[in-house]
Structure 1
Amino acid sequence: VLNLADIETVLADEGQLRKVKDLKRILNTVNHKHEHSYIFVLCNKIKKFMKTPSARQVEPIQAKKYVFIIDEINRGEISKIFGELFFAVDPGYRGERGGVATQYFNLHLDQTKKFYIPRNVYIIGTMNDIDRSVDSFDFAMRRRFRFIELRAQDQIAILDNINDPEV
């Protein structure tokens, strides 16, 4: 199993990669590992490809957008709904920057990886404002979401746009 973080580190290194032994310096390891041979070949192939004209013609792929809907979010205990991700819900900490080391991170093959909410995942929480439990939403949670009131007449416009690919 090749470690993606190691491959990224080697590709980001500006120095020459001439021998497998160079990986010890780049990855800051004492011993040579079996997978270093594979990383060496792979990174050299990628670096060689990046110098070709076809590498400049590759267009970036637009990430798909995903929506996670929590119905009647105000009825649940927010700390139990989000758990350790409560911090990562904040818009300023979306993506890998807001990664959280959970209590289970030591079970993962790559222990440097953290759990986070990707930038292309949107969380929608629905609530009924007539319900008294709306008042239990604390300020920390309120600032992580934008509140939009939807009235019955607004829903008609939403249904009219349901086939719009932009929505």
Structure 2
Amino acid sequence: KNIYIYDGLLCFLREAIAISSTDEDFICVTLDWWPPQKCTVHSGLRAAFSPLKIRLCGSLQNKVFYQTTRYHRNCFPFKKDEREMFGFTEGCLSLGRWDELNLFFAKSGALVIFGLNALRGRIINNNKATGLWHSMNADSLIQCTVEKS
């Protein structure tokens, strides 16, 4: 048995069966668009790992609002706030930034793995999510992206 203590919690890890596998060329690199306090990877790495599979989003993906042509509200960045889940407030991925990311993906030839804001609209209580996902904002981002392609 593997026993770990993380953030005051005692965790047991039982390695029984693989639930997933990746390609032999899979390399995990994080290129965050999060606030500077959370971003630690230098962009010069992208050339060394080309072609690259990029996973966009991550721990803050559930706190993202996507600005789109249909949802064009004011767009504010994440702010550090230790009282919030994951230590940051809700943030917004602006339409302009999304366009820049798509241009980067096209130029780099990267394959993109994208995480959505699947907790939007759900209620977290005792580490359990209940209620329905409000998928309209994510759907709008996908539609907007397809229309621009």
Q: Whose helix fraction is larger, Structure 1's or Structure 2's?
A: 1
TM-score (norm 2): 0.26
Larger Rg: 1
TM-score (norm 1): 0.24
Q: Whose strand fraction is larger, Structure 1's or Structure 2's?
A: 2
